[in-house]
C-alpha cells in the first residue's frame, strides 16, 4: 500500500496538485486546472499498473467550486463538487477513469484521450442528468 500511495502522491505532486486526504485505500486530491486533474488521473492509472499489474485503480474526476476549511492544521474540502466527485469515482470500474462534463469539456481533453489511446463512452451519475465520459 505504501508503494501505491507513493506512486499516486508523485503523480499528483508533479502536476502541481495536492493530496487532501486518504480514506482507506482511496485518495482525494485537488488541482488548479481541470485538464491537469485528468492528466494526473491517467498517469496514476498507468503508473500503478506498472507497479503491480494486479492493482487497478478506480478514478473519478470532477471540477467546480467547493468550500475549503482549515481543520486540525490541514485543509479539507466540502460541498456539492466534492460529493459529485465521490459519486463519479463510485461509477468507475477497475482500471477506469470517469470524468464529468466539467472535466471532459476542458480544452485539450479529446487530445489527452487520443495521446493515451483511451476510449470515451458515456455513463450516468445517479441523481444527475449529466452524461459522464468514461475513459478506458
Closest Cα partner for 102 from 35, 51, 3? 35
pTM: 0.83
As given in the structure block, the three cell numbers for residue 125 are 451519475
Domains (ranges, CATH) in the chain?
2-135 (3.30.70.1230)
3-state DSSP call for residue 60? Answer: strand
User: 41, 79 in Cβ contact below 8 A?
Assistant: no
pLDDT of residue 129: 47
Q: What is the mean pLDDT of each run of 10 residues along the chain (136 residues)?
A: 90 96 89 93 92 89 92 90 91 87 88 84 56 55
Amino acid at each position: 500500500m505504501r508503494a501505491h500511495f507513493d506512486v499516486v502522491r508523485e503523480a499528483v505532486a508533479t502536476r502541481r496538485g495536492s493530496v487532501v486526504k486518504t480514506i482507506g485505500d482511496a485518495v482525494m486530491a485537488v488541482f488548479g486546472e481541470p485538464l491537469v486533474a485528468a492528466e494526473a488521473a491517467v498517469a496514476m492509472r498507468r503508473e500503478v499498473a506498472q507497479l503491480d499489474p494486479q492493482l487497478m485503480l478506480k478514478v473519478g474526476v470532477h471540477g467546480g467550486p467547493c468550500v475549503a476549511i482549515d481543520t486540525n492544521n490541514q485543509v479539507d474540502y466540502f460541498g456539492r463538487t466534492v460529493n459529485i466527485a465521490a459519486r463519479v469515482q463510485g461509477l468507475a470500474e477497475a482500471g477506469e477513469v470517469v470524468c464529468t462534463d466539467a472535466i471532459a469539456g476542458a480544452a485539450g481533453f479529446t487530445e489527452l484521450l487520443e495521446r493515451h489511446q483511451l476510449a470515451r463512452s458515456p455513463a450516468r451519475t445517479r441523481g444527475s442528468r449529466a452524461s459522464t465520459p468514461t475513459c478506458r
